[in-house]
Structure 1
Amino acid sequence: MPQRSYSSGTGGECVEVTVDLPGLVPVRDSKNPHGPALVFTVEAWSAFVGVL
């Protein structure tokens, strides 16, 4: 799955987002690729990143 990773630049806050699931946005800690993911609707994720 295509993924995009984002970090704070200091190496502490890293997230990975999968972008190819229609209507859903799974997000996980990129430092723990086998750990759990939070799954948001596209609308919820857009509202979240729109506030940043």
Structure 2
Amino acid sequence: MATQADPKAEAPPKSSERLAVFLLVVVMAPVMSVAIVGGWGFVVWMLQLIYGPPGAH
């Protein structure tokens, strides 16, 4: 039979939660935004190399 642990005993401290939110908001969100926009720009560039610029056909 499994015993149920006290949820308060396993909660991370507030400082680690703030650090995690800081890293997600200040670091990861801008990095992911740049990666997504840059990746899409690369895809469009490669497609234009293969198929030509818009309106070329």
TM class, shorter-length:
under 0.3
Larger relative contact order, structure 1 or 2 (CA cutoff 8 Å, min sep 6): 1
Q: Would you tell me which structure has more helix in proportion to its own residues?
A: 2
Q: Would you tell me which structure has more strand in proportion to its own residues?
A: 1
Structure 1 length-normalised TM: 0.22
Larger radius of gyration: 2
Structure 2 length-normalised TM: 0.20
